[in-house]
Amino acid sequence: MAQVTAGAKVDSVVQELQNRLGFSDARKETIRDAMVAAASMGVGGKAGRGSAGGAKGSSGAESAINQGRLNSQLLAEEVASGHAFQKHVVERQEFADLGISTKNQFQNFVENIVSNPAIDRRQSVDGTMYYLDSSTKTIVIRGQRGEATAFRPDQGGVGWDNYIKSQVPKK
């Protein structure tokens, strides 16, 4: 019974992630399989404990941390797989001075921004989330419908301060 409950919980979390980030059903299944495999590892990485053993030994804080990591990974993957890589990394070379030229480098860079608790985060009334990395002058945006991007307004000619003042919700 506990395994069914854990599986239903995983399904619920994955469905919520899909609703927020808008990824495909195929990606949804991949993520679900990864979450089930991680749950079966349990605390301390001991395989074979089953999802009930992992859930029983896990704290709420640990689950929240893991969910936060997964959200960061998914958002970074969406950004790197969307228009942002081609437009902002390849064509406009906005990240060249940071040594970013590959999709993997870009994805890791974005993930580091969105997973960093010290980064300024702002949310608009429609639910769009803005991650503002002032040290690299990078903005990562996740729209409520799952669209996502990352760019550097200083490199694009708009200017960091101008963009923050005119396009980003106030604190």
Q: pLDDT digits over 32-74, tens only?
A: 666 665 565 453 444 433 444 444 555 666 666 677 788 899 9
21, 78 contact by CB (below 8 A): yes
Q: pLDDT digits over 95-138, tens only?
A: 999 999 999 999 999 999 999 999 999 999 999 999 999 999 99
Residue closest to 88 by CA, chosen among 5, 124, 97: 97
DSSP state of 122: E
Contacts of 21 (CB under 8 A, 6+ apart): 74, 75, 78, 142, 146, 148
Summary mean pLDDT of the chain = 80
Tokens of 128: 């769009």
State yes or no: pLDDT of 28 exceeds 50: yes
Give the domain ranges of the chain. 2-58, 82-167
Instruction: With 0.95 as the threshold, say if the pTM is over it.
Output: no
Q: Which residues pair with 139 in a beta bridge?
A: 132, 151
Q: Which fold has domain 82-167?
A: Nuclear Transport Factor 2; Chain: A, (3.10.450)
Distances, alpha carbon 93 to alpha carbons 50, 140, 153, in Å: 47, 16, 12
